[in-house]
Amino acid sequence: QAGMGAFAARSLKKGDVVAPAPALLQITDKKTLDMFELNKYQVDGDDPVGKQLLLNYCFGHGKSTMVVCPASSSNLINHCGPKVKGEGQCDNRGPNAVVRWATDFDPETSLWLDMSLDEIDELVEKGRRGLSLEIVALRDIRADEEIFIDYGPEWEEAWKRHLLAWSPPSGNRDNYVSINDMNQNVEKYVKTVEELKTDPYPVDVRVACFVQGFHHPCQILEETPVTEADIPHDSSALNEPRRSVYRVRLEKLEALSRWEIQYRWHFPTKSYETPLSTKYIRFFPGVYSSDQHLPGAFRQQIGVPDDVWPKQWKNL
């Protein structure tokens, strides 16, 4: 369930800064990220139904209402606990990097670390920001090696609880298939418009066809008797499997301006048909149906070590 992760673009020595993490948001009360049911744009009830996705990409402490949300890719670094061994995400040496407060590039940080949450709140209300983190190498890291940090024991326990409690939205684990799994085996899951009438996709998806550098909305009309090897412009390397070819109805993109492109999910007369290998067919989640929108989706801040988090911020 890990994300794409982060990899070293060059060799790093122990103590080197792997990535700066200047905070875009300093949220002194993470209840701000609570989500509630809405009834005609009004909050319905006092109990939150979940947390905003943003929480997963913020750093905090279990005994504090404060979270710090960086404006960099540092929050995409995957977790590796010190006890994790041989599980495919990190080796038996544990994490190779750690989180600490910025030491050089943001002079405001040292000042803000001495402030109370109330003082920080006042500055934030005035549009100020002043906290930055950085990721530092715990040991020498070779080029192309994945970077890992320890999200902390509270994050690990939250993840374990999530695994035990979560179930697919359909309530049937046997029928649920993630978009990622569908894209790993398009040949298995792709369906024509006729097949969809009696056998819909297991989740809400949009189908797109990659043509001329873009994924265009498309409909799968029928399978053809040829394979991609029979289409000169669509052939693959000899050691790749010969994928099926479908006749698809492709929706052309409409340029709203030089920089903006509009997708239209209905199929007017502008659409055209073409043969296309399943290599260029991809599934995308429907509106509000990606994993992050599923009921019970995982939400937990990235933990900052206890000795790093200021004592005056531990208000819980």
pLDDT tens per residue across span 175-193: 778 888 899 999 999 999 9
> Which of 32-46, 86-100, 159-173, 228-242 shows the lowest per-residue confidence on average (mean pLDDT)?
228-242
Place of tokens 């890992």: 148
C-alpha R_g of the chain = 24
Question: CB–CB of 281/246 below 8 Å?
Answer: yes
Supply the mean pLDDT for the chain: 84
Query: Which amino acid is located at 47 in the chain?
Result: D
3-state secondary structure of 220: strand
- Under DSSP, the state recorded for 96 is S
Instruction: Please state the domain extents for the chain.
Output: 6-166+296-313, 179-289
Cα angle, residue 132 at apex, residues 131 and 135 outer, rounded to 5° = 155
| Burial class for 108, CB neighbours closer than 10 Å (0-12, 13-18, 19+) | middle
Q: Token pair for residue 78? A: 């995957």
Question: CB–CB of 65/307 below 8 Å?
Answer: no
Q: Token pair for residue 16? A: 């080197």
For domain 6-166+296-313, give its CATH number from 2.30.30.280, 3.30.365.10, 2.170.270.10, 3.30.420.40: 2.170.270.10
User: How high is the pLDDT of residue 195?
Assistant: 95
Question: CB–CB of 27/66 below 8 Å?
Answer: yes
Burial per residue of 280-312, b for 16 or more beta-carbon CB atoms within 10 angstroms, e otherwise: bbbbebeeebbeeebeeebbbbbbbeeeebbee
**Structure confidence at residue 40 as a pLDDT band (50, 70, 90):** low
Q: Token pair for residue 208? A: 């797109």
**What is the reported pTM?**
0.73
